[in-house]
Structure 1
Amino acid sequence: MIVKESRIKTRSGAEALSRHVLHGAKNEVIRVLAGSDWLMRDHMREAKREGLTYGLRHIAFNPAQAMSDAQLAEFAGRLCQELKADASHMTLIIHQKEGTTHGHLILPEWQEDHVLSSRFSWIRLEKLARLEEIRLGHALVAGRHDRSIAKALRKEGKHREADLIDALMPEQPADKPRAAYTSQSHRMAERQGLNLPQLKQLVASLWSQSDGLKSFRAALTKHSLTMREGDRADKRPGAHIIEDQDGKLIGSFTRLTKIRMVEFRKLLAEEQHPTVSKPETDIKSTRLPIRRTTPDFYEEYPIPATTDVQTAPRKRPVIKRPKIREWQRELWLKRMADVDTTATEPLSPTSSIRIISAGDARFRKEITTAIAQQQAILDQQAPEASWKPLDRDRTIATWRRQLAPYQKQLRKSYDRYATAKGEWQAVENNRWQRMTGKIRKLEKKADALFYDFLEMLRFVVQALLHIVGLRWEPPAPIRPVLSEKQKPLLEHFKETHDAEFSVMADQKKLEPWLIQRFDNLIQARQRHIKAWNTAHTDEKNAAQHEIKRLSALLATKPVSPRLQITTKRQISIILSPSSSFGCS
């Protein structure tokens, strides 16, 4: 799954983004699961009132394998949770193009009391994409931040997922995947009538078929393309770009062909200064120089006769040995004296050295291994025993801070329903209003807001259970449209979780409920530890007894061969995988 993020500036407005996600002509089907065009424009107006530079966050996620709308909506909810965004304010749109689907998530930068989180957002979004691929069993897509993602997952205790992502990392950092163009350049090219994916594939194929830059430039010319030096030569020397005949930018040469900049600079140097190699058969190199001489040349220039005088031999250099220190000399003399000691000299009676046979040594090593195995069984503890102890005040404060936005949403939804219900009851006894049909409209509006309130209640209660650890999955996203089948289920949900609803509705009841939940959590952890210790008592007692028996064998003199055979059989039974010892 590929996830791309872009931030829409406030001064740009929401018109271009709305036109792309809601009225894209190349899409076969457009399904709006949440939000609307009006909601995006309202978020942009709110960002202008707050004086923000960016108004909307656009996140596009494209899975490599097919995903249903429900799965795409769940992934959008996880994105909101990662970025600390209010899922009730999101706009989620599904596009279907050439039989495949992808999603567009639009979030407001202003989240009523804070700005949307953007710290290391690219790495965090890639991490969510890898986790979603692992959860759904899809093929993992390599990214540029796999090393950081694996490190973060290990800190969270997800070692299996981290190992799977480690396998995606290339051996060389330069081999990391990189995009040939950004989503913004893609949109700009579409408005200019260019198809960047096809042009990128064309440039890559032309480069693979060329044997150098000269042939590559000729191949580009045949397809009405040119390559020239970039406009920012002062910042990126040597960078070249590819354009069409109208001067429209296609992309950078190194990004389109996946060639490293160092290799490309070598190719440029070879193109500018070609080296002329000599042929293998160079006739000029085989001719010898000839010097013409006169007949009496040797008489005019006689060769000097050799003398019998022998030159004095060179003096051999004197090699000086390095000086040795006094303590090193004494140590050397002591070692040389020990060399003369006879090998058959008997050991003194006070010596602590005991000579044993090789078989007895192997037997003792097996006993030591068995003792270590049994000691590992004694050292085992319940998984909860190694957990960090919880701080009551800090934990409850964290829960309260996480629940505050959900309480605010629930209060707003209830206020809207109460206002509509009050308007309906105010005109219920008015005969004229009944005749005009206004009371019927107010009743429908109150009923619709009531079920919206129940849906918000469902979302808030699930969030409460998830935060305090009573629910494994995060709350399902709020459904903007409710069918008749869902209304009885919502009413049943309200009756079932009436206690949790009362807690979220009343701030005075929330604090005692959180304290009770914390106490139950501590008691449940202690019960699990106690149950684990009870279940492993017999195993630990047997291991302790076996350690005492094997330690006694080590303290005795060399054991007889018959006892060694019996003990080895017992050790093999202990260390076997099917044995009850050594595995918990």
Structure 2
Amino acid sequence: MAGSDWLLYDAMREARRENLTYGLRHIAFNPNEPMTDAQLEEFARRICHEFHGDPEHMTLVIHQKDGSTHGHLLLPEWQQGHILDNRFSWIRLEKLARLEEIRLGHALVAGRHDCSIAKALRKEGRHQEAVLIDALVPEHPTDKPRAAYTSQSHRTAERQGLDLPQLKQLVCSLWTQSDGLKSFRAALTEHGLTMREGDRADKRSGAHIIEDQDGKLIGSFTRLTKVRMTEFRKLLAEEQHPTVSKPETDIKSTRLSIRRTTADFYEEYPIPKGPDTQTVLRKRPVIKRPQMRKWQRELWLQRMANVDTTTTEPLSPTSSIRIISAGEARFHKEITKAIVQQQAILDQQAPEASWKPLDRNRTITTWRRQLIPYQKQLRKSYDRYATAKRAWQEAEKSRWQRMTGRAGKLEKVYQQLLLKFLDVLRFVVQALLHIVGLRSSPPEPVRHVLTERDRSALEGFHKQYDAEFTAMADPDKLEPWLAGRFNRLVQARADRIRRWDRERQAEKERARQEIARLRAKLASPISTSRTQASAPSSRIHAPDLE
């Protein structure tokens, strides 16, 4: 789809020239659901933009294997001025995969870094996507997906003629059917497999691996069966030191529990003694009752005094207790539930109202730190352009250089560096807009091949964002521009919160009126018959008592 062999060879040469350890980065992606070649190519370009790579220098191969279409993306590590970004690459690739699944409507695949991905998406302002990915996070961290083997081991097994997925399924089924390690080892032997301690026992004590008869590695026991290492060590200890089981007839279990009822129990029911048995005098145990606190004793005495009160005696007029029927109790419960529902509407707040307020100094300092490399790049490009312009102007003053054609060559160099400077300016301004939140996508990379046809678009971009260019070129003007941007950011958030409250003001007013009406009905006395007639039979939001 893109690139060629000579492009890969050229990337390796550039890496050696720059003294880099690696020259190419290989990223493979295999979707679960069908995708067209155009969709796969667009996804590859998104990967390039994520890691600050130039899509014009990528090599993309799309082919089918075992009935599934997947792609291989190769990017040069040296990107004509910087190294390909590599920070948190696996998490960022998972984020791109989840976003692509959401964009195309595919089923979301759970990963190990879904929590971090959702957090990053919230920082980017993609709250809807973050909610969808949050649903994939398991309740317990130990339930996160874990690969039974790496892709490298999978490729090695294919070269050795092994089918790792089928063998993994076999090992899992044997483990579920076994009642211990002994029976599991026997089941493995029947299928030509063995389990032994790993070669790196000094680093990972207790780790066991599963092999076939030829000594080819299948995988680790804990990874294949999803058994925790602590539980597996317990199983090993039980296998090495089996516990002695209790006999079925235990004499201790036949003893009957005898409760001592009186103080003279042993005198009333003497135990027969043999002729040689010596009488052992036992000291009578002293039973001490716990001391009651003063307030506990007074409460107990008061309760004991009320024991003789008849049930038909009416309550005193000063008592605040009111006896209600079961129907009236159910009715009060439904009204209370409706009040809680209406109160939930009143307690609603704008999504951004609970956010932590922005720290002015910290935010502007972060922006300034992120803009430093772009300012350096802009300054270097401008210096090259200014040097070429001065050289051309000096050559124009010399008749001899005009006659020999040197002035014309310097003019071409000057025009080409002018185009590159305008493109760097476009890149730096887009980076500024992306950092401060005015642009959702990262800046498009600097192009290496520019023609006169690109001049009009670049000059138009320069005129459109002249204020941003001035701020990036002059450090004294950058600080006021960032401060103004921060003020607009805070004001925009406040406007969104006020707009959210204004849109829901009528709904909250209705909820407030409904709560007042329900509380008035709840406080008014209601007869049992009317309660049973008007009590709702299902879940309600606001019961109508009229």
TM-score under structure 1 length normalisation: 0.63
Are 1:176 and 2:154 an aligned pair? no
Preserved CA contact (<8 Å) 2:327 2:532 = no
Counterpart residue type for residue 176 of structure 1:
R
Q: Which residue of 2 aligns with 1:451?
A: 419
Are 1:72 and 2:33 an aligned pair? no
Q: Which residue of 2 aligns with 1:474?
A: 442
Moved more, 66-75 or 327-336: 327-336
Q: Which residue of 2 aligns with 1:546?
A: 514
Counterpart residue type for residue 499 of structure 1:
A
Q: Which residue of 1 aligns with 2:131?
A: 160
1:514 aligns with one of 473, 482, 499: 482
Offset at 1:139? 4.8
Preserved CA contact (<8 Å) 2:115 2:137 = yes
2:160 aligns with one of 199, 208, 217: 199
Q: 1:416 to 1:494 in 2, by over 3 A?
A: same
Q: 1:339 to 1:123 in 2, by over 3 A?
A: farther
Offset at 1:528? 3.0
CA displacement, residues 423-450 of structure 1 (integer Å, 9 cap, x when unaligned): 3333345555556555444444333333
Are 1:63 and 2:26 an aligned pair? no
Q: Which residue of 2 aligns with 1:392?
A: 360
Q: 1:450 to 1:266 in 2, by over 3 A?
A: same
Q: Quick one: distance in 2 between partners of 1:411 and 1:38?
A: 28
Q: Quick one: distance in 2 between partners of 1:257 and 1:543?
A: 54
Q: Quick one: distance in 1 between partners of 2:70 and 2:372?
A: 39
Preserved CA contact (<8 Å) 1:90 1:105 = no
Q: Quick one: distance in 1 between partners of 2:451 and 2:8?
A: 14
Q: Which residue of 2 aligns with 1:44?
A: 19
Are 1:101 and 2:62 an aligned pair? no
Are 1:349 and 2:324 an aligned pair? no
Preserved CA contact (<8 Å) 1:74 1:476 = no
Counterpart residue type for residue 554 of structure 1:
L
Q: Quick one: distance in 1 between partners of 2:435 and 2:396?
A: 42
Q: 1:358 to 1:31 in 2, by over 3 A?
A: farther
Q: Which residue of 1 aligns with 2:336?
A: 368
Are 1:489 and 2:461 an aligned pair? no
Q: Quick one: distance in 1 between partners of 2:284 and 2:115?
A: 57
Q: Quick one: distance in 2 between partners of 1:169 and 1:200?
A: 37
Counterpart residue type for residue 76 of structure 1:
C
SS of the equivalent of 1:457 reads helix
Preserved CA contact (<8 Å) 1:130 1:140 = yes
Instruction: Give the CA RMSD over aligned residues.
Output: 5.3
Q: Quick one: distance in 2 between partners of 1:169 and 1:324?
A: 47
Preserved CA contact (<8 Å) 2:51 2:86 = no
Counterpart residue type for residue 104 of structure 1:
L
Q: 1:543 to 1:107 in 2, by over 3 A?
A: same
Preserved CA contact (<8 Å) 1:30 1:95 = no
CA displacement, residues 153-194 of structure 1 (integer Å, 9 cap, x when unaligned): 789866424334326999867x721434549x96xxxxxxxx
Q: Which residue of 1 aligns with 2:258?
A: none
Offset at 1:75? 1.9
Q: Quick one: distance in 2 between partners of 1:474 and 1:28?
A: 23
Preserved CA contact (<8 Å) 1:170 1:176 = no
Preserved CA contact (<8 Å) 1:59 1:104 = yes
Q: Quick one: distance in 2 between partners of 1:556 and 1:229?
A: 77
Moved more, 447-456 or 432-441: 432-441
Offset at 1:78? 1.9
Counterpart residue type for residue 447 of structure 1:
Q
Q: 1:178 to 1:455 in 2, by over 3 A?
A: farther
Preserved CA contact (<8 Å) 1:90 1:108 = no
Preserved CA contact (<8 Å) 2:341 2:541 = no
CA displacement, residues 383-427 of structure 1 (integer Å, 9 cap, x when unaligned): 333232223222222221121211112222222233333333333
For structure 1, list consecutive stretches of 5 or more residues without a partner in the other structure.
1-26, 46-54, 81-86, 187-194, 219-225, 270-310, 577-584
Preserved CA contact (<8 Å) 2:47 2:93 = no
Preserved CA contact (<8 Å) 2:345 2:508 = yes
Question: Mapping of 1:309-328 within 5 angstroms?
Answer: 312=272, 323-327=288-292
Question: Mapping of 1:274-423 within 5 angstroms?
Answer: 312=272, 323-327=288-292, 338-423=306-391
1:460 aligns with one of 407, 411, 428: 428
Q: Which residue of 1 aligns with 2:256?
A: none
Q: Which residue of 2 aligns with 1:524?
A: 492
Preserved CA contact (<8 Å) 1:410 1:456 = yes
Offset at 1:562? 6.7
Moved more, 528-537 or 457-466: 528-537
Q: Quick one: distance in 1 between partners of 2:474 and 2:118?
A: 42
SS of the equivalent of 2:492 reads helix
Preserved CA contact (<8 Å) 1:392 1:518 = yes
CA displacement, residues 281-320 of structure 1 (integer Å, 9 cap, x when unaligned): xxxxxxxxxxxxxxxxxxxxxxxxxxxxxx95899x9998
Q: Quick one: distance in 1 between partners of 2:212 and 2:528?
A: 89
Offset at 1:38? 4.7
Counterpart residue type for residue 421 of structure 1:
K
Offset at 1:370? 2.8
Counterpart residue type for residue 382 of structure 1:
A
Counterpart residue type for residue 327 of structure 1:
M
Moved more, 207-216 or 66-75: 207-216
Counterpart residue type for residue 494 of structure 2:
Q
Offset at 1:131? 4.4
Preserved CA contact (<8 Å) 2:149 2:219 = no
Q: Quick one: distance in 1 between partners of 2:22 and 2:419?
A: 29
CA displacement, residues 32-65 of structure 1 (integer Å, 9 cap, x when unaligned): 59994454234326xxxxxxxxx55864322213
Q: Quick one: distance in 2 between partners of 1:362 and 1:442?
A: 93
CA displacement, residues 503-527 of structure 1 (integer Å, 9 cap, x when unaligned): 2112122111112222222333333
Q: Quick one: distance in 1 between partners of 2:6 and 2:135?
A: 34
Identity across the alignment (%): 47
Offset at 1:353? 0.7
TM-score under structure 2 length normalisation: 0.66
Preserved CA contact (<8 Å) 1:34 1:93 = no
SS of the equivalent of 2:19 reads helix
Q: Quick one: distance in 1 between partners of 2:350 and 2:484?
A: 24
Preserved CA contact (<8 Å) 1:229 1:240 = yes
Counterpart residue type for residue 62 of structure 1:
A
SS of the equivalent of 1:362 reads helix
Q: Quick one: distance in 1 between partners of 2:325 and 2:444?
A: 70
SS of the equivalent of 1:60 reads strand
Q: Quick one: distance in 1 between partners of 2:312 and 2:523?
A: 29
Counterpart residue type for residue 506 of structure 1:
D
Q: Quick one: distance in 1 between partners of 2:374 and 2:225?
A: 50
